[in-house]
A = this chain, B = another copy of it.
Amino acid sequence: MLELNAGQIKSMNLSELSQLCDKARQEIISTVFKNGGHLSSNLGTVELTVALHYVFDFPRDKIVFDVGHQCYTHKLLSGRADKFSTIRKKGGLSGFPKREESEYDCYNTGHAGTSVSAALGIAKARDVKGEDFNVIALIGDGSFNNGLIYEAFNSLRLLNTRILVILNDNGMSISPTVGSMHEYLEILSNDSAHNAKRQRHATIFERFGFKYDGVYDGNNLVGMIEKLTEIKEALKTQSVILHVMTQKGKGYEFCEENPEATHGISISSSDNYSKEYSEVLGATLSGLAEKDERIVAVTAAMTSSLGLGGFFEKYPGRSVDVGICEEHATILCASMAAAGLKPYYAVYSTFLQRSYDEIVIDICSQNLPVTLCIDRAGISGSDGETHQGVFDISFLSSVPNLAIAVPKDVKEFEAMVKFSAGYNAPLAIRYPREGVRVFRQQSEIVLGKWEILKKGDGKCAVIACGERAVSLALAASQILEEKNIAVKVINARFVKPLDKAMLDSLSENRIVTIEDNMLAGGLGSLIDCYYSDKDKRIKNFAYGDEFIAHGGVGELMDGLGLNCGAIAEYIENEIG
């Protein structure tokens, strides 16, 4: 194991620093293959991070990691090597920067493009308080597509402050980086021998008030130390963009050759997946698109993970990955729908948060037939607070014109995607990554209609949405059956609109709701509202008012009260 006291790095010679890089790299590889996590991005930034720690004075100097999936070496070098084996485990180190964990982490990240804004804010605070330290944003070229970068650059002069932006260019976000900014960065890189031409190109950054310096080899430890030492001096008077090239997956041949597949490594906790939802999306949508030429697909930088690799190959003219630009992707979908197409926007739940305003204004206030395919909904697990998809029902349920569907399994998901093709208004379908089971019962999808999975004896109805919640409901009902309690189990396929006819018809006085989402604004709260002036006694199983840290999906749900034992116990106590 790599052992290192914070600060110790300062006294190392080059040979020791080089060995440190090797050790860090080994530690990252062996730990990620045990715990899962971001591999290639972390392997690419080992030398750069060691050089930063050698040249700068952390934690006095501050560094903000964009997205944060390249912070492992930083964690190893800042007194956390002994806990590194716990990374991404419940109660262990976070896989992202975390202020609560170490004073070396000055700002938590997880979503793309925030680092330059955050570095500017920290620098501005330094100036207001009359302090003196350096502030660094380390950002990949994938994040560089995001509009936030432009907004931050645009205010550099306004804020009248100084920061260092290190552009870590590896040609990848999760998918390969796309778009004109990427092409521009490529030109800068290719021109590195032709200084005059490069300087002309660099004007795009200089316009914003940065001194541009690049392109250098970010995997060259000695070169990085020299360059950063020079820049540390320059930072006393101006802001600098340092453009370095690194190799994603550096030092591990398999990663170097498969940077997209090894961006994140998942350690599966279950061997009996039926299928991932994303696979079903890809296959179903490709099938539908054969018959309906209006169907187009849009993603924001993670086409393969969303299952749309095949669709994109088959329909290159009808698919677009816009890079990490969730807002723009949403408006593209709305406007293509306004002009007569049938767009599908596939996105992870947590990143859809970026599109909230555009969902309200562009898609829903215009009542346009865009389908949001919301992957990684519910607790997503080891990535922690910034990646849990537990807010989507809450922020979508108050948006008029939007229907929200939640499939109980991959089969029902397939039926919902097929349903969407004939549905001419805004629709969101939310689902987790893994489809674990397939239920026997499969009936036709009708807008706002639920299905009864178990009849019960008229005392208690359990209303659940989504595979995880429906599974819990059925498991609880089985526990109860052994105690001669028969509950009705309802699959609430649509959170919006509610199945009011079914709600009106329920004779049960005790109602239990279960969902893999926050309570406020969730399925439970919608049912509470619907029954607010009725004589029903309702218990909501959902997530309460707290952020959910990293851990396994099952153990996290369990710890938060979403377990069949607790549900069965509640019902038994109520009606037993």
* Chain A residues proximal to chain B, CB less than 8 Å: 62, 64, 99, 106-108, 110-111, 114, 117-122, 124-129, 145-159, 178-181, 183-184, 200-201, 203-204, 207-209, 293-294, 296, 317-318, 320-323, 325, 327-328, 331-336, 338-341, 353-354, 356-358, 360-362, 364-366, 385-386, 391, 394-395, 397-401, 496, 518-522, 524-526, 528-529, 531-533, 537-540, 545-547
Contact = CB atoms under 8 A, between A and B. Distances in A.
A238 to B, nearest CB: 14
Indicate how many identical chains form the complex.
2
A163 B202 CA distance: 26
Contact of A128 (B129, B317, B400): B317
A192 to B, nearest CB: 18
Among A207, A518, A528, residue most surrounded by chain B Cβ atoms (within 10 Å): A528
Contacts of A398: 391, 394-395, 518-522, 545
Given A122-B338, A524-B529, 17 more contacts: A107-B338, A108-B361, A118-B331, A118-B334, A122-B335, A128-B317, A146-B147, A154-B179, A154-B181, A157-B179, A157-B183, A158-B320, A184-B207, A398-B520, A524-B532, A528-B529, A529-B540
A514 to B, nearest CB: 14
A539 B531 CA distance: 10
Among A183, A496, A520, residue most surrounded by chain B Cβ atoms (within 10 Å): A520
A454 B126 CA distance: 49
Contact of A296 (B128, B179, B323, B538): B128
Nearest to A546: B400
Given A122-B338, A129-B340, A520-B526, A117 B328 contact: yes
B366 A332 contact: no
A167 to B, nearest CB: 15
A148 B200 CA distance: 26
Q: Which 8 interchain pairs have the tightest Cβ spacing?
A: A147-B147, A121-B335, A125-B339, A150-B150, A151-B328, A521-B521, A394-B398, A353-B357
Q: Which secondary structure characterizes the binding site on chain A?
A: helix
Contact of A331 (B121, B328, B386, B401): B121
21 contacts: A117-B335, A121-B334, A122-B339, A127-B317, A146-B151, A147-B327, A151-B322, A151-B327, A157-B180, A158-B322, A180-B209, A201-B203, A354-B356, A356-B357, A365-B547, A400-B545, A401-B547, A521-B521, A521-B525, A525-B526, A531-B532
Nearest to A117: B331
A277 to B, nearest CB: 23
A240 to B, nearest CB: 16
B366 A99 contact: yes
Contact of A110 (B181, B361, B395): B361
Among A99, A129, A204, A331, residue most surrounded by chain B Cβ atoms (within 10 Å): A331
A159 B320 contact: yes
Contacts of A331: 114, 117-118, 121, 148, 152
Among A117, A126, A209, residue most surrounded by chain B Cβ atoms (within 10 Å): A117
Given A154-B180, A333-B121, A327 B148 contact: yes
Nearest to A519: B529
Contacts of A532: 524, 528, 531, 537-540
Given A529-B528, A537-B533, A107 B335 contact: yes
Contacts of A127: 317
A145 B128 CA distance: 25
Among A209, A320, A353, A532, residue most surrounded by chain B Cβ atoms (within 10 Å): A532
A183 B207 CA distance: 9
Contacts of A386: 361, 365
A391 B341 CA distance: 28
B332 A124 contact: yes
A506 to B, nearest CB: 15
A537 to B, nearest CB: 5
A110 B120 CA distance: 29
Contact of A525 (B122, B322, B364, B525): B525
Contacts of A358: 114
A326 B336 CA distance: 25
Nearest to A135: B339
A323 B200 CA distance: 28
A464 to B, nearest CB: 16
Nearest to A362: B114
A339 to B, nearest CB: 3
Nearest to A497: B545
Contacts of A147: 146-151, 327
A104 to B, nearest CB: 13
